[in-house]
Structure 1
């Protein structure tokens, strides 16, 4: 018999409401994975109260531990929280579909007119503004989840430093942080008794993907499924990985085309790894875009919904809570470090530095100002300032 203590809380929202939210976020959510996970926290945890702090932290931990794009996996997990596999599936599609359609349209224009010269000017402004948006998201996550906890601050600092130095997110930092906090704050009984029983905690075992020797669509599907299965963290990590395969190994694109593909992903809303759809379009048209995008996101979908029931069932145990706290601190540190890494690439002169600082100041002062408005103004500023600074 269920009691009030063990009866799951009914959701405060409908399945359609969260699907509609993710569709809107995929349409207007600029800033890449760091900003997107910040928007989800602000909107779904702080403003609406649809998702609890604990469920959000579990989703962040799972997204960091599993390979694939961070923001998409977190969105899928949040869809799973109350509506299980159907919610995860519909939310995942809603989150990715808008940006996919955008990059296909841009890919068609790119192929028809031979390059996107004006995009450099737009990205000049948008890229700098996005740094301000990401910085504000990182600040909110840090103050809310770490507080005055010295151990979590130490983990945060190490993770941020490693991210800045290596320019990528290191999975062993997340795992090590989780284990450290678990052992220090909720040590298992076998450890207290001095026993050496092994603990089985499988995370994922679905990495093996054959590099099929088919026509070009087969190659695209195999390569991008491989990329989606082995790259941890976010678009920050997958970009150099894609460069090695797309440009250097398969020679599908040249350097200029690849840079343009990354720019397309950065100035369109939604997950940064949707650049795979743009690349697929340049290689093999609409079906190339479809195969490349699907192959990238299907692994991250599976790596989210398969372990999700175990996170939901066992996530409230003290050892799991401590582990998740450690992983979350490391994840936020990596996000903060990513601000520095991306900033080094996007802030190139006084004008871009000023745009980033102005964005922070505006978002600090006007907390309800929609980010798309900020991004639109930054794009216009880029169109004006870029010719002046590159005259």
Structure 2
């Protein structure tokens, strides 16, 4: 039976139907977190009506506070709401699985056939299409989150802070939460964007209520899943093994990846190139192109880094075998913490849904994240359209200055065609992606 608001009770949703829906969400999750969240909202809130707008936004804001991929964690959260732990595991794993398979295949092609012209042409055509998809997602998220001048101002300040002054993402989030909290007390008409639960929403299910016993059980299980494999590998292979090094390094990265893949891109690239020798200079952008153009979270780029690191330091193993094993390991230590954050924290977040002070603080965070996404879209655009982008520091001011002589006219033309297809012709995302990619490949193979 439906609730008065049209939202379905979770008891009415068969697990088989949920499986098909989460697989559909995963296969359509191209273009980074903004696009992925938009896809989830359209399918789960607008089409299926499995969760209300308020509850979706409440879960989203919590996931944005966490380290790791917010879209994958949001899928896990909603899956847990609907079908307990099994539903959360199903939604979270399915969200990662298509991208994992795709990036593994692309990593094999990249490492074994990087000199082949059609492989290089494939990456050339993919990047402009993804740039347009990111821009479309940015407009969609901004349209939902920025509902008044105060929200626009907060988003603008967040963009300036992170793009021009390199303010750390956690500092932006804390500041935005404080502005939202104070704004809610002084001007609730501007900041009271995310309301508490509506009176006609279903009563919370029993499994969403927090308890100390459950928290301890979840912590023990997922901390063991996270660290016991690393301890076993260290005992068998020694601490200098590439697998142990990658497992420990990406475990650290999983804790500090606030703001998604872009927020730690420079850190991971610097460590992978200069410290460990896993990547050659410039290869991180190729890996990011893989993650941008395949379904799933952008942080899946770490799988490519892990693959290439083990491929180049395979030891006694065949390089391809070493790379594949490292792909599984790096993916494991990156996403097991995501399930820990959700299954441990979600019951407490659900208990705070009616807290109005928290709601206004989260409204500030939502606006600030739009500015952060704009920063990410601009960063990706610069590195897609220009061969060289210089980073210059003038005191506290940071400038990303493209070398205009390195502008790629073909990439610009492809990007403009993709924008026209999405915004003007309203083509579906996958149709645009494949059409522009094929056009880019044809240009690269025929013209060079």
TM-score, structure 2 as length reference? 0.73
Distance 1:137 1:321, change over 3 A: same
Deviation at 1:245, TM superposition (A): 2.1
Tell me, yes or no, if structure 1 residue 43 matches structure 2 residue 43: yes
Distance 1:216 1:337, change over 3 A: closer
Cα distance in 1, alignment partners of residues 431 and 142 from structure 2: 25
Deviation at 1:159, TM superposition (A): 1.5
What are the within-5 Å matches in structure 2 for residues 191-206 of structure 1? none
| Structure 1 residues not aligned, in runs of 5+ | 188-204
Distance 1:48 1:169, change over 3 A: farther
Say which one has the larger Rg: 2
Measured against aligned partners, the alpha-carbon deviations of 1:90-120 in whole angstroms (never above 9, x if no partner) come to 1110010111122222333344435565344
Deviation at 1:143, TM superposition (A): 1.7
Deviation at 1:318, TM superposition (A): 0.8
Count of matched residue pairs:
366
Tell me, yes or no, if structure 1 residue 273 matches structure 2 residue 311: no
Instruction: Say if 1:64 and 1:171, in contact at 8 Å, map to a contact too.
Output: no
Cα distance in 1, alignment partners of residues 276 and 181 from structure 2: 44
Deviation at 1:366, TM superposition (A): 4.8
* Paired residue secondary structure (2:105): helix
| Higher deviation after alignment, 46-55 or 375-384 | 46-55
Instruction: Say if 1:186 and 1:318, in contact at 8 Å, map to a contact too.
Output: no
Instruction: Say if 1:164 and 1:340, in contact at 8 Å, map to a contact too.
Output: no
Q: 1:314 aligns with which of 344, 352, 359?
A: 352
Instruction: Say if 2:103 and 2:291, in contact at 8 Å, map to a contact too.
Output: yes
Q: 2:418 aligns with which of 359, 365, 376?
A: 359
Deviation at 1:167, TM superposition (A): 6.8
Cα distance in 2, alignment partners of residues 86 and 323 from structure 1: 31
TM-score, structure 1 as length reference? 0.83
Choose between structure 1 and 2 for higher RCO, CA contacts under 8 A separated by at least 6 residues.
1
Counterpart of 1:371 in structure 2 is: 429
Counterpart of 2:27 in structure 1 is: 27
Cα distance in 2, alignment partners of residues 388 and 341 from structure 1: 29
| Higher deviation after alignment, 33-42 or 311-320 | 33-42
Instruction: Say if 1:228 and 1:296, in contact at 8 Å, map to a contact too.
Output: yes
* Paired residue secondary structure (2:68): coil
Counterpart of 2:337 in structure 1 is: 299
Instruction: Say if 1:39 and 1:137, in contact at 8 Å, map to a contact too.
Output: no
Counterpart of 1:195 in structure 2 is: none
What are the within-5 Å matches in structure 2 for residues 66-215 of structure 1? 66-113=66-113, 117-147=117-147, 149-165=148-164, 170-186=169-185, 213=239, 215=241
Measured against aligned partners, the alpha-carbon deviations of 1:233-256 in whole angstroms (never above 9, x if no partner) come to 122123222212222111123225
Instruction: Say if 2:130 and 2:293, in contact at 8 Å, map to a contact too.
Output: no
Counterpart of 1:383 in structure 2 is: 441
Tell me, yes or no, if structure 1 residue 218 matches structure 2 residue 256: no
Counterpart of 2:383 in structure 1 is: 345
Distance 1:156 1:18, change over 3 A: farther
Cα distance in 2, alignment partners of residues 257 and 184 from structure 1: 44
Deviation at 1:230, TM superposition (A): 1.1
Measured against aligned partners, the alpha-carbon deviations of 1:277-334 in whole angstroms (never above 9, x if no partner) come to 2332331332211101111111222122221111111122111111111111111221
